[in-house]
Structure formats: structure tokens, C-alpha cells
């Protein structure tokens, strides 16, 4: 399994995206079929197998993947969540799979007006969707990908028939999942983006837009099931390394000013904003009109989480409006890994700086949990973790 550091994957979605196209592109990049099958078969699912074959669309060759299921039944989100949590999958794969399924469940719950735990339908519960999502997380781990970015997403038009009846294209769940993501319409009278594909790409990608500065090392093509006359039905994944020693990305900045809210509410609002996908939440004291003291709420989030952050601010605070804009970021490369210490497992963030400098930052929540469990001062836990992980 490759272990190279700071690898970038760029999803070039010129013909849309689906779960099987993602698996096909990853396998075209070298992810073994057996690695995906054996890891997922450890989960309590109906019997399945992967059919992988070389295929082409308009003379561009890649890998086509089909999930063959002997027998299946609908599962709800709660059941799938328990299957993943109890499985022997690596923690990083579990975390990413659960994140993607949560996005899919929330979107479907909003469409069908029911709690996400009760979402019960084939798109979420089918073995093929589970294999696509968990397989994508496994593929990203096997390839050693640190950062995933994606192009703008093209959408088809028309109608599609599914278990719920006839739905417009793109399907309602797909549209909900793509909130905050740059999309554009096409004249293709077919579904180009499936709900599973939308959930995976929005769960994996840190940002959407043009190809970043990178040195391309490998290219993989995932072949779609349908032949399209307008374009080659392929997903292209470019794998490489950043051109600069620094990482660059784009985030949404959402702001509003408040001068009429009970201060006790701010702590709760911060928790809710992080649940909505905020990367950082900042309270800034400001002087407002009529010399009133107030607080500026400033939230950083990924582009595809902007809608949820805006909804959370307008529903949880007294704000009547927000402003938002894009900000470019330049960052030192970093990677989160699980470290084994004398106090137990702790997630740490490794940050690579110029001239070979390296620093380690322990995860606060893990250190807090150890401090409470072992009745140790938090600073002692930090010092121990830093000493044992910095060697």
C-alpha cells in the first residue's frame, strides 16, 4: 500500500459522477479489487462481488465497476451507522464513510420530511451504495491521498424512474447534497450525478474549482455504465503532488453582527456551527450603530457547507442577515494520524514547515477524554503526548 506524503487527487467531473465511476477511477489508479472486497465483506452485508473490467468511452480507456448483489433489503441510516462502527475497518475509513452517509441521510431526510435515523430506502440502504461509499473511503486510504479537490459539476436534465416514482433530474437528494457547490446545466437528457456520487464527492472534496497547481503523477479513468452521445461518460482522477511546499485552498467566510442576543446563547451557537461543518468560529467585539456594543460572528467553512452554516446562524441567533465571501488560504502541509502513547490512542496533527521543520499538535478532545478518564491534569497529558510523538 502506498504511503507517500502530501498527495493530491483532483476529480475532473466533465461527465458527472457516480459511486461506480469513483471506484473505477481508483482501481484504474491501482487500488486492488481484493482490497475493497475483503474489507467490506467483513461487514454484515448480503453477499456481493465486484465485477471489474476494462472498458472505453469514445476510445478513452479505463475501468468499469459493477456491484453484483445476490439478495438485498432496504436499511435505514441507523442500521448502516451501527454496521460501520462495529466493523474492523480502519478508524479513518470509518470516519470518512460515516461522514458521507450522514450527508446522504440528511439530504434524503429533508426531501422525505422524516428524521434521518428513519430514512429507509434503497438508495441509502442498498449494498451497492454501501460498497460505493465505503469503497471510496478505502480507495482514498490505499492511495495515500491527503487532499481531494474537484471540478465544477455538470448536471443533466429530464426525468428518472426510481423506487419513489418519477423524479426530475437532477434528483431532489442530489440537488440538496450539491448546495454550495458550483454546478452548471447541460443538454444531456440523462442523470449525470447520482445521489451517492454527490454524497461521496462533497464528502471527500475540500474545494471545487479549476485544477490546482500540481505535478501530475498518475491518471485514472472510471467508466460510467451508460454510453452518452454528447461526451465520453468518464470520471477522470488526476493524482499528483503540489507544485508548492505550501497548500492552498479556498474557504467561505460567513459573517454577521449581533447586538441584541442573550450572551449565554453564544456558546450553544458555536457548538451548532461546528456541527454544521464550520472550520473555525470567532467572536469579535465590535461597536455598532448608536454606540451599542455588539459581537461579530465570523465563521470559516468549506464551500459546500456554506448553506448549512448560513441556515444555522439565521435559525439559532437573532441575526436577520449574513454576508459571505470567498477567501484564499495558504497553509503548511498537515496530516492527522492516530498515535499510540503510554496514555492510549491519541489523534495528532503533523505539520510540515519550511527547511524540514516538523511540529506535532495533539487533538484536544482526545487529550481531554484521557485527562478526565485517568484523572490527570490536561497539561500533563499534552506534555506526555508531545514527548512520545515528537521523537
Shared domain for 266 and 286, answered yes or no, is yes
Q: Is the pLDDT of residue 163 over 60?
A: yes
Count of structural domains, the chain: 3
Q: Of 250, 252, 224, which Cα lies nearest the Cα of 149?
A: 250
For residue 293, the domain's CATH number is: 3.30.70.1380
pLDDT tens, position by position, 42-62: 887 777 889 999 999 999 999
Q: Residue 207 pairs with which residues in a beta bridge?
A: 149
Distances in whole angstroms, Cα of residue 303 to Cα of each of 198, 299, 310: 14, 12, 12
Could you report the per-residue pLDDT of 112-123, keeping only the tens digit for each? 777 777 665 444
Q: Check the CA dihedral 58-61-12-172 and report its sign.
A: positive
Tell whether 171 is covered by a domain: yes
Q: Does residue 177 share a domain with residue 81?
A: yes
Domain of 93 in residue numbering reads as: 7-242
Name the pLDDT band for 1 (thresholds 50, 70, 90): very low
Radius of gyration of the chain (CA): 22
The 10s digit of each residue's pLDDT in 247-284 is 778 899 999 999 999 999 999 999 999 999 999 999 99
% residues pLDDT > 70 (the chain) = 94
**pTM check: above 0.85:** no
- Does residue 323 sit in the same domain as residue 346? no
Do 189 and 51 share a structural domain?
A: yes
| 279 and 235 in a common domain | no
Amino acid at each position: 500500500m502506498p504511503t507517500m506524503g502530501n498527495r493530491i487527487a483532483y476529480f475532473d467531473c466533465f461527465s458527472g459522477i457516480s459511486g461506480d465511476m469513483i471506484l473505477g477511477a481508483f482501481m484504474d489508479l491501482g487500488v486492488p479489487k481484493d482490497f475493497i472486497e475483503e474489507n467490506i465483506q467483513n461487514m454484515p452485508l448480503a453477499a456481493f462481488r465486484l465485477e471489474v473490467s476494462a472498458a472505453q468511452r469514445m476510445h478513452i480507456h479505463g475501468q468499469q465497476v459493477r456491484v453484483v448483489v445476490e439478495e438485498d433489503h432496504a436499511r435505514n441510516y441507523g442500521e448502516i451507522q451501527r454496521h460501520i462502527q462495529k466493523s474492523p475497518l480502519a478508524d479513518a475509513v470509518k470516519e470518512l464513510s460515516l461522514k458521507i452517509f450522514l450527508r446522504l441521510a440528511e439530504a434524503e431526510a429533508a426531501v422525505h420530511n422524516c428524521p434521518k435515523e428513519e430514512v429507509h430506502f434503497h438508495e441509502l440502504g442498498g449494498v451497492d451504495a454501501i460498497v460505493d461509499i465505503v469503497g471510496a473511503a478505502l480507495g482514498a486510504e490505499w492511495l495515500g491521498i491527503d487532499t481531494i479537490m474537484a471540478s465544477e459539476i455538470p448536471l443533466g436534465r429530464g426525468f428518472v424512474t426510481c423506487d419513489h416514482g418519477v423524479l426530475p433530474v437532477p434528483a431532489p437528494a442530489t440537488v440538496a447534497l450539491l448546495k454550495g457547490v458550483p454546478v452548471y446545466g447541460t443538454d444531456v437528457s440523462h442523470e449525470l450525478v447520482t445521489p451517492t456520487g454527490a454524497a461521496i464527492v462533497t464528502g471527500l472534496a475540500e474545494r471545487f474549482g479549476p485544477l490546482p497547481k500540481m505535478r501530475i503523477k498518475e491518471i485514472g479513468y472510471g467508466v460510467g455504465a451508460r454510453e452518452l452521445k454528447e461526451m465520453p461518460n468518464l470520471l477522470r482522477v488526476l493524482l499528483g503532488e503540489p507544485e508548492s511546499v505550501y497548500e492552498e485552498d479556498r474557504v467561505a467566510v460567513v459573517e454577521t453582527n449581533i447586538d441584541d442576543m442573550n450572551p449565554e446563547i453564544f456558546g450553544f451557537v458555536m457548538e451548532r456551527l461546528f456541527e454544521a461543518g464550520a472550520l473555525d468560529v470567532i467572536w469579535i467585539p465590535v461597536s455598532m450603530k448608536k454606540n451599542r456594543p455588539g459581537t461579530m460572528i465570523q465563521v470559516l467553512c468549506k464551500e459546500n457547507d456554506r448553506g448549512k452554516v448560513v441556515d444555522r446562524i439565521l435559525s439559532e441567533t437573532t441575526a436577520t442577515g449574513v454576508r459571505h465571501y470567498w477567501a484564499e488560504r495558504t497553509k503548511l502541509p498537515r496530516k492527522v494520524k492516530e498515535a499510540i502513547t503510554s496514555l492510549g490512542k491519541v489523534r495528532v496533527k503533523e505539520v510540515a514547515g519550511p527547511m524540514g521543520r516538523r511540529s506535532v499538535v495533539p487533538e484536544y478532545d482526545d487529550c481531554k477524554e484521557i485527562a478526565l478518564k485517568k484523572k490527570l491534569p490536561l497539561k500533563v497529558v499534552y506534555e506526555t503526548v508531545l514527548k512520545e510523538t515528537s521523537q
